[in-house]
Structure 1
Amino acid sequence: MNVSVRLFFGYFLVVGLAAWFVLTVINRETEPGIRQATEETLVDTAHVLAEMAALELSTGRINQGSFAASLRAATRRSPRADIAGVHKESIDFRVYVTDAHGIVVYDSEHAALGEDYSQWRDIARVLRGEYGARSTLDDPDDPQSSVMYVAAPIFWQGERIGVLSVAKPMSSLAPYISRATARVKQSGFWLLAATAAIGLFFSGWLSWSIHRLRAYARAVADGRKAEPPTGGGHQFSELARALGQMREKLEGKQYVERYVQNLAHEMKSPLTAVIGAAEILEDELPAADRRKFADSIGEQARRLQAIIERMLMLARVEQLQAPEAGATVDLVKMLKTTIELRRQFLDARRLACQLDAPAAVDVRGDAFLLQQAVLNLLDNAIEFSPDGGTIEITLEVGEDEAEIRIRDHGTGAPDYALPQLFERFYSLPRPATGKKSTGLGLALVREVARLHGGEAGFANHPAGGGVAWIRMQQE
């Protein structure tokens, strides 16, 4: 399990547990809160009604007076109230009044007249001068039949003459409790969903940043060119830059060591030939032999010069991440110029060079480096073509890239050599002379292609000869 998934599960577990705890507390407190709010309202109602009933209770007319008539009229009302989506169509309360001894003298439901309620908690506590309230099940087998009672003392001329109790069935509060509970659960669901979405976003962002760093590290390990990734946050950007600096220092050291080793190896043979020829020239030799050894020294010196020049150019290109002289390059014009630059060598070998290209194709890049790459491919085609043969140059254009193909009609390359053709200092003997080149031309071609967002390659043509190609991003 990767670190992003672990962080996501850890984050979601912590936030989810916190949300579950808060929602559970809220859910548990919903019903008690509604009950407490209802009780507070019943307290006010009981005291108001107690004041209204005092006169008629003191005269013994509590069942025949305006108080009883008003309550009867109230119970017949239909409020048609819409309270937060809950429709209320009836008056849901009960009122009973006891005398100073707890005997019921009035009951709005006419169910308990004459009964002794002095032991009921709401009446008993008020008779003792305390706050009186109780909650009782109408049906002991039905937990939803709970009724809340709140009592208030009735005073007349400073003397307590009775108790009035207001009852409210909790079933009338059930829709509000259910609605509140459903809203809490719904809010909890959306909270968890939002939490998960936020967690996924940040986990994805973290995974994306780590993936880019990992891809960069793998590119460094594989020796491929890659820019340090940025944009993943300050710390990730700093880490990427630190990795980039470390890579540059390590690559710089390895680069120098590798090039010194390669250069020393490639220069050993020409230098040995030069030294040997020079030692022989110290002796008295016929003029023809002296000329032969002098030509050998010149040839090897030119080879050394070519190796050094190619190495310097290849080293410069390999260190670039983008073309230095970025400009619009007309590939068709460049190919025609390249052919003319090698016209002398083509004519010397009686080689025909055919160009198949559209009217104009533009790319964005370094004109000098692109021309050097094409010159290297054309030089190889010239050296591996039979005298009087044909070289075919084709320019093809795709949706967002251009490709230059150069085909010769020689013998092609051996199968064992194909994977190594673009490696530094690897070269095959030229058919005409049996000599090898510096082995740096195709390596330069590959680096120029990479610099222009493309690639280079070589393959033997099915009909004979070889096809070298360089592909680049089109403007």
Structure 2
Amino acid sequence: MRLTRVTLFFLALIIGFGFYRLFDFLLDDIEAQTFQATEEVMVDTAHVMAGMIENELKEGKEQDIRLLRGAFSRAQSHTLEAKIHKHTKTRIGLNAYLTDSKGIVIFDSDNGRREGQDLSGYNDVLRTLNGGYGARSSREDDNNPDSSILYVAAPVKSDDTIIAVLTIYKPQADVLNFITDRRRDILTAILSIGGGVILLTGAVFIWLFQPIGRLTCYARSISKGERLPIPSLGKGKEVNTLGKALHNMRETLEGRRYVENYVSTLTHELKSPMAAIKGAAELLEEDMPADKRQRFLTNIQRETARSESLIKDLLRLVELERKPHLEHKRSINLTRLCHEITNECSHRLIVKNLSLKCTFQESIHITGDTMMLRLALINLLDNAIGFSPNDKVIMFKLKKSNTHVQVSITDQGLGLPDYAKKRVFEHFYSLTRPGSDQKGTGLGLPLVREAIKLHGGEVSLENHPSGGCVATILIPHSGS
């Protein structure tokens, strides 16, 4: 899933960068648009006010600015409570000054503080006197960017001659609150949309790639020879179709491998007993003493029994290996099952005069398949009996820890030779029983391993420090 996480990270990074660029553009654009809209209104206002005073100034009353002074005085005395986009406006933020044809201020609505000043060098006055569009933005305090004031001028004409310039001005701080609000709204919207897109993308990745990750683990388990059930893949049609196709492919390939592998192996393993039977049968056609004839008949019976046992064990092993999981699980009293197995094997112990020392913890229960566990335990006990010299002791123990149930069977035989330690669980691998030239089918321990694996456990066969072998089974309490 590392590729999924990397892809999701880069996708989130790209989306985040895109929204950051959008946010940056919108923030810059909202400020520019707000000031542009304010300036556009100020242009109209300046020209309307200039037109209102043109008649007064045309009559030569250049110093008679009572109209402007009275208008601003009355307006500034008004009580305002205008609610504009979450803000309440309580005072007039618009002022004006009037300059003569030389750029000298003859009226300033801001308590006359600019009156008498020469503003002919400022863009609003200079450009208007020259017949252009006059406007500027200047700071009252050079160190404070929020102290900027926007100035927009309009010409006052007599016929076609500019006789004065009317400039209206407004602090940019008056509109900063609106800009701040709009920025906050834009930021909230972008974060909400961006977060939603990232969450939705993440959800889609999880919905799609988590099942693919489970299928990847499932495929890896197949390559390791594990038989896990097909994982839960949610409700997605495509991924479930892929999962079923993978499961069917696995069953098909495994079926082919099983047939090829086991037919080949069974053919090889049956060659020896068939050859022995054939040879004995041919010899029986000749005249021979009765004791010799009986010996050949015994060989035929022994090899026939071995062939039957081989086929029976192979069929059991194939059945176990084809099971992906336990199909019929129930609560098993493992203590009672171990007692039953010791009783079933008692006759074999008597033949070799072996003693079986049992140490079973009482009332141990697990969940599993009784027949499989019986088969596994009988095989291990049969091995211990088969590889134990006469007159020895076999230890059979059952105990429970916090997490597992442990079964151990220890014999006092010769132990495993070094060359066999890594091969004892291979199919058809077997060792000669002590005191004879006979071998087992080589399928007993693979049967045990498959049965225990289906219960979620593990089995091991190792040499005991004091001699002999110890077979150990560990099964989780849940039994699966």
Q: TM-score, normalised by structure 1?
A: 0.81
Aligned partner of 1:18 in structure 2 is: 18
**Which residue among 466, 471, 478 is the counterpart of 1:468?**
471
Q: How many residues align?
A: 466
Deviation at 1:31, TM superposition (A): 1.6
Give yes or no for contact 1:93–1:167 (8 Å, CA) kept in 2.
Answer: yes
RMSD (Å), alpha carbons: 4.5
Aligned partner of 1:284 in structure 2 is: 287
5+ residue gaps, structure 2, are 158-162
Corresponding letter in the other structure for 1:22? L
Aligned partner of 2:73 in structure 1 is: 69
5+ residue gaps, structure 1, are 156-160
Give yes or no for contact 1:428–1:437 (8 Å, CA) kept in 2.
Answer: yes
Corresponding letter in the other structure for 2:228? A
Tell me if 1:261 matches 2:258.
no
Aligned partner of 2:38 in structure 1 is: 38
**Which residue among 459, 466, 473 is the counterpart of 2:462?**
459
Q: Relative to 1, partners in 2 of residues 1:388 and 1:179: Cα closer, same or farther, differing over 3 Å?
A: same
**Which residue among 315, 333, 337 is the counterpart of 1:312?**
315
**Which residue among 396, 402, 427 is the counterpart of 2:430?**
427
Separation in 2, partners of 1:340, 1:48: 118
**Which residue among 349, 353, 370 is the counterpart of 2:352?**
349
Corresponding letter in the other structure for 2:319? R
Q: Relative to 1, partners in 2 of residues 1:198 and 1:52: Cα closer, same or farther, differing over 3 Å?
A: same
Separation in 2, partners of 1:179, 1:65: 35
Separation in 1, partners of 2:119, 2:305: 130
Tell me if 1:337 matches 2:344.
no
Deviation at 1:240, TM superposition (A): 3.2
Secondary structure of the corresponding residue to residue 287 of structure 2: coil
Tell me if 1:380 matches 2:400.
no
Deviation per CA, 1:159-192: give whole Å up to 9, x if none.
Answer: xx99864311335555665676688678767877
Tell me if 1:134 matches 2:135.
yes
Secondary structure of the corresponding residue to residue 350 of structure 1: coil
Deviation at 1:114, TM superposition (A): 9.6
Separation in 2, partners of 1:200, 1:31: 34
Q: Relative to 1, partners in 2 of residues 1:343 and 1:136: Cα closer, same or farther, differing over 3 Å?
A: closer
Give yes or no for contact 1:401–1:471 (8 Å, CA) kept in 2.
Answer: yes
Corresponding letter in the other structure for 1:94? N
**Which residue among 365, 368, 390 is the counterpart of 1:365?**
368
**Which residue among 294, 298, 315 is the counterpart of 2:297?**
294
Q: Relative to 1, partners in 2 of residues 1:25 and 1:175: Cα closer, same or farther, differing over 3 Å?
A: same
Give yes or no for contact 2:430–2:440 (8 Å, CA) kept in 1.
Answer: yes
Aligned partner of 2:277 in structure 1 is: 274
Deviation per CA, 1:405-424: give whole Å up to 9, x if none.
Answer: 11112221212111111111
Q: Relative to 1, partners in 2 of residues 1:44 and 1:328: Cα closer, same or farther, differing over 3 Å?
A: farther
Q: Relative to 1, partners in 2 of residues 1:64 and 1:307: Cα closer, same or farther, differing over 3 Å?
A: closer
Separation in 2, partners of 1:182, 1:466: 77
Corresponding letter in the other structure for 2:476? Q
Separation in 2, partners of 1:254, 1:123: 97
Separation in 2, partners of 1:379, 1:274: 26
Separation in 2, partners of 1:352, 1:164: 123
Deviation at 1:207, TM superposition (A): 6.3
Deviation at 1:133, TM superposition (A): 6.6
Q: Relative to 1, partners in 2 of residues 1:234 and 1:257: Cα closer, same or farther, differing over 3 Å?
A: same
**Which residue among 169, 172, 175 is the counterpart of 2:171?**
169
Separation in 2, partners of 1:386, 1:461: 16
Secondary structure of the corresponding residue to residue 331 of structure 2: strand
Range with greater deviation from structure 2 (316-325 or 137-146): 137-146
Separation in 1, partners of 2:301, 2:329: 38
Deviation per CA, 1:337-396: give whole Å up to 9, x if none.
Answer: 111111111222222222212221111111011101100001111112222222111112
Q: Relative to 1, partners in 2 of residues 1:394 and 1:100: Cα closer, same or farther, differing over 3 Å?
A: same
Give yes or no for contact 2:127–2:134 (8 Å, CA) kept in 1.
Answer: no
